[in-house]
Chain A
């Protein structure tokens, strides 16, 4: 071990290196322009979670759009009670339900309703939540006070509970279907999106570039849409992706409880509910739709997580 040094150099001057001369105005540019979206894309491309979840999601969407590609068996019409609770056979790789329907076909065709309800509700929540939350955050004062109280009221009613009550209203029950269910989930799901938008807006509301825009004489709404909301887009996109998963679960739960989609429509929730009595004897009828449901939700949740890392620096997990 070298000995500590005993004296202090009186006046040390480093040799001048190339990059140490007169600073001058630094105008050097990196090779490629970038912005939030490009940076986000760059980091997403390298994120295995994003790649896996995006591929999964594309797969699910493909199944939703073209179920016929995966199975020629019809989920309903070919049910034969003679096949009830049957084991896998040729062309029926997952066996049969207690009604003698092909589990594989039902799982493939069951994707559509759940995913459509999820997309519908997410769209509804995006429109309603972003507008309401944006107005509350941007205008503040009594607008915010009123909207926040209304949001509090809706927060006191859990999503599933509210949806159950609303679905039990005769008008809703009689018209039960994908659109109705999406509307019902929107009615009780918007406060979450509104809250996120509101806080994202609050964060940028007092930024100096907003004051600069006001000093230009820009109108309030124009500032809200041109400067404030684009800057709040990151967290909103993240929450929207996660909401997709949550609404798919909600649809399945409601259908499981027998209060979501009408029994005539195919849904994983129905199938899981129908398979419940045979849990001991024919667990496959319950496990396969459950697995598909969980994997679908997982793909959206993972996607949301990956997007959060890239788009929402505050919620970053890395």
Chain B
């Protein structure tokens, strides 16, 4: 068990540095003059330029810049963004909103995805199953921003059930609809995954043996079918947390939520490299941690893993 976890942590280290490096490289090494975006069309004085270069360590070779940036990450010194605010404080303001949004999305997709998937899987081959599978296909096919606008239009504007945009402070009630939109596509994937997993486990030999022991149908499903089917679903949910952070860019823009997705969008349009890299680093950290959590859960759910 310990060895398994240590191995997973060791495997995550190159993922962490590699992903940050790719983004850092794209933002800083390819753009020629990174100060150009900040200075705008009119250009800066040489003095301002020099100051900027010092701030971003642009006078150093690229790899040194990167290492200095990593040092900043670990000492929580991320520098300032173009408007002069410390990046860390921007994150502190906006990240909680994104986290709330993502948690609503995960809870929504987990509960409804597993429930509907269980129904479809246990009734494989019936109309319930076909209907739910078709529903999931439709859900997968609708892009997040389309789903966002349509639900904003229907529930926010036409029916008036919820406010079409999220107010300041991002109250949970306002975040409910955006969270469901964000989790919508993943819900379809969870549904399909659960359905396939349940359908496969349902026909497994050990489930037949459990039935032959005289267990009630309810116990066979809860203790043997569902428990075993959850292993791949949990893996998906963990990996999905990172993807949800990425999807938040779109959702947060539609519902005007002050989260890191919106900040990231703004920073990219401004060419604010330091801000972009910091936000992507944050998303990568979330991804890596979520995956480690999944590995831990995996080991709990599947005893075979602990000795692998």
A contacts B: CB pair < 8 Å: yes
Interface residues of A (CB under 8 A from B): 49, 149-150, 152-162, 164-166, 168-171, 245, 249, 252-253, 256-259, 272, 276, 279-280, 283, 286-287, 290, 293-295, 297-298, 301-302, 305, 315, 317-318
A165-B268, A257-B253, A283-B153 given; 16 more Cβ-contact pairs under 8 Å: A49-B134, A154-B19, A156-B18, A156-B287, A165-B26, A249-B143, A253-B250, A256-B250, A259-B269, A272-B146, A272-B149, A279-B157, A290-B150, A301-B140, A317-B133, A318-B124
Q: Do the beta carbons of A315 and B149 come within 8 Å of each other?
A: no
A11–B27 CA distance with the chains assembled, in angstroms: 86
A258–B276 CA distance with the chains assembled, in angstroms: 17
- Chain B 89-124 interface mask (CB, 8 Å, partner A; 1/0): 000000000000000000000000000000000001
Q: Do the beta carbons of A169 and B246 come within 8 Å of each other?
A: no
Given contacts A152-B14, A161-B280, A293-B146, contact A301 B141 (CB under 8 A): yes
Q: Do the beta carbons of B271 and A157 come within 8 Å of each other?
A: no
A128–B87 CA distance with the chains assembled, in angstroms: 37
Q: Tell yes or no: B88 within 8 A of A by CB.
A: no
Question: Chain B interface mostly helix, strand, loop or mixed?
Answer: helix
Which of B176-184, B237-245, B296-304 binds A?
B237-245
Q: Which residues of B contact A258 (CB under 8 A)?
A: 269
A161–B260 CA distance with the chains assembled, in angstroms: 12
Q: Do the beta carbons of A171 and B30 come within 8 Å of each other?
A: yes
Q: Which residues of A contact B125 (CB under 8 A)?
A: 318
- Chain B 250-268 interface mask (CB, 8 Å, partner A; 1/0): 1001100000000011001
A153–B288 CA distance with the chains assembled, in angstroms: 10
Q: Tell yes or no: B142 within 8 A of A by CB.
A: yes
Q: Do the beta carbons of B239 and A155 come within 8 Å of each other?
A: yes
Which among B14, B133, B152, B253 is the interface contact of A149 at CB below 8 angstroms?
B14
Q: Do the beta carbons of B138 and A298 come within 8 Å of each other?
A: yes
| Chain A proximity of B187: nearest CB distance (Å) | 15
Q: Which residues of A contact B81 (CB under 8 A)?
A: none
| Chain B proximity of A225: nearest CB distance (Å) | 30
Q: Which residues of A contact B276 (CB under 8 A)?
A: 165, 168
| Chain B proximity of A180: nearest CB distance (Å) | 14
Q: Which residues of B contact A49 (CB under 8 A)?
A: 134
Q: Which residues of A contact B287 (CB under 8 A)?
A: 156
A169–B22 CA distance with the chains assembled, in angstroms: 12
The 7 closest A-B pairs by CB, nearest first: A158-B246, A153-B18, A298-B141, A161-B246, A297-B141, A156-B19, A290-B146
Which among B22, B32, B249, B288 is the interface contact of A160 at CB below 8 angstroms?
B249
